[in-house]
Structure 1
Amino acid sequence: MTVNVTDAQHVHEGNTMTNIVVFGGTGYAGSAITHEALSRGLTVTAVARDTSKLEPAEGLTLAQGDAFDADFVSEVTKGADVVVVSLHAAQADGSELKDKFQHFVDAAAAAGARLGIVGGAGSMRVSEDGPRLFDTDGFPDAFKGEAKSHAQILDALRASDTQVDWFYVSPAAAFGSYNPGERRGTYRASDEVLLADAEGNSDISGADYAIAFVDEIVTPAHHQTRFGVAY
């Protein structure tokens, strides 16, 4: 299934009561989600080890701390409506997100919040019956560890009996700070199949990925499932 979304369909009003907590709020995707959410009147707590990269803004609270510390995660998510996890699967110190991810599930459950995950594209299928992207010959070896670790998080969520209303958003294949693109105000959404344009390019800008992510926060349409977004 593929859905086309244009700027006219984005919801911008009536969302002032929604409080989201973004772990990785200074990163590429996390900062884009933070800015998009603030632009729609949501309140945001941006969490990072170093919050100095973010400028003060109306509706924005900065929380500096370790996202892998269960007590910190529990404390900073109190009162949240949505908990967003936008973190690398493998951290610089060698720790892995998948080993600590239950902290976020538990915190969302305690807060009665939804849980949104910035996922990877590697686990998307290249066609309905095709292999996952990271199993194709052209997938760079340097990215396989990160991609497969993110896939393990998705698999664990699917296999769990959690009552938390989670959603996992996979971007296009060429998504990241190396390919920032520009805001178009449009995107397509799919389920398990990687989207590409007529030339075979699978792209989405940081700004438009954030639009898709915040659209899901404002008007929930995906529950305990993954969806992908691209042009």
Structure 2
Amino acid sequence: MKRICVLGGTGYAGGAIAREAAGRGHEVVVFSRKPPAELPPGAKSVTGSALVRADIARAASGADVIVVALAPTGDLETSFVAVNADIADVARILGARLGVVGGAGSLLTEPGGTKVYETEEFPARFKAFAQASDDVLHELRASDPELDWFVLSPPTGFGHYAPGTATGRFRLGGDVMLKGNDGRAEISGADYAQAFVDEIERPAHRRARFTVAY
């Protein structure tokens, strides 16, 4: 059993990861601005601001893994990259592994190809979000070698608008967006969370980004 602190554990991805981890018997701490209306059985709630390093350190104290499931919106819109760097430093100091919910836009369209968010088809309203997530990935790749991290980027068809169902069947890839035979790039929240917690339990991507899709 691991102690897992989920920053942004009341959001779509963070909530799914918290439920999956708690369901597997891990000790889960959900960090959010306000107490959640509902917690996974056995999980604990810690409130605070991701902008306050002391709040993050308090929530993550004793954690084996710190999960970052934050989005560059609201008060994080202009500070997202800096906040992620602060969280990474807290993880390094605590000796915790860092697991980050990555963005789909930073994936490549093909080996050595264009990033998804740089294509004409990528919605303009999401480009700033994708750029911020890409910047976080860049910073992690250049981070202190002592920091043990992984980033799991979902495909573009991932979000509260398409929750899907748990199938337990999916494929893992590297930096290139995975698509099914029908050309769709999708993963349900539950299956994404399964892949994420699988990596926590059986590390296979150290200091690396990977992806998951059907």
Structure 1 length-normalised TM? 0.89
CA contact (8 A) 2:4 2:27 kept: yes
SS at 1:183's partner residue?
Answer: coil
The sequence identity of aligned pairs, in percent, is 42
- The CA deviation at 1:93 is 6.3
Q: Which amino acid aligns with 1:229?
A: V
Matched, 1:30 2:5: no
Q: Bigger CA drift: 83-92 or 220-229? A: 83-92
Give per-residue Cα distances to partners, 1:194-216, cap 9 Å, x unaligned: 00001110000000000000000
Which one of the candidate residues 104, 120, 135 is aligned to 2:103?
A: 120
Q: Structure 1 residue 92: deviation in Å?
A: 4.5
The 1-side partners of 2:18 and 2:94 are apart by 20
Partner SS for 1:227: strand
- Unaligned ranges ≥5, structure 1: 1-15
1:219 aligns with 2:205: no
Corresponding residue for 2:86? 103
> In the alignment, does 2:130 pair up with 1:147?
yes
- Greater RCO (Cα-Cα under 8 Å, separation 6 or more): 1
Match in the other structure for 1:49: 33
The DSSP-based 3-state class of the residue aligned with 2:155 is coil
Contact 1:26–1:51, Cα closer than 8 Å, also in 2? no
Q: Does 1:40 align with 2:24?
A: yes
Question: Which of 68, 86, 90 in structure 1 is aligned with 2:69?
Answer: 86
Q: Secondary structure at the match of 1:117?
A: strand
Which structure 2 residues correspond to residues 193-204 of structure 1 after superposition, within 5 A?
193-204=176-187
Q: How many residues matched?
A: 214
Does the Cα contact within 8 Å between 1:26 and 1:53 map onto a contact in 2?
no
| Runs of 4+ with >3 A deviation | 92-95
User: Aligned pair 1:208/2:191, yes or no?
Assistant: yes
SS in structure 2 of the partner of residue 26 of structure 1 = coil
- Distance of 2:75 and 2:161 partners within structure 1: 19
Q: Match of 2:210, SS? A: strand
Corresponding residue for residue 166 of structure 2: 183
The offset of 1:120, in angstroms, is 0.3
CA contact (8 A) 2:108 2:176 kept: yes
- Contact 2:99–2:149, Cα closer than 8 Å, also in 1: yes
Please state whether the residue corresponding to 1:142 is helix, strand or coil.
helix
Q: SS at 1:207's partner residue?
A: helix
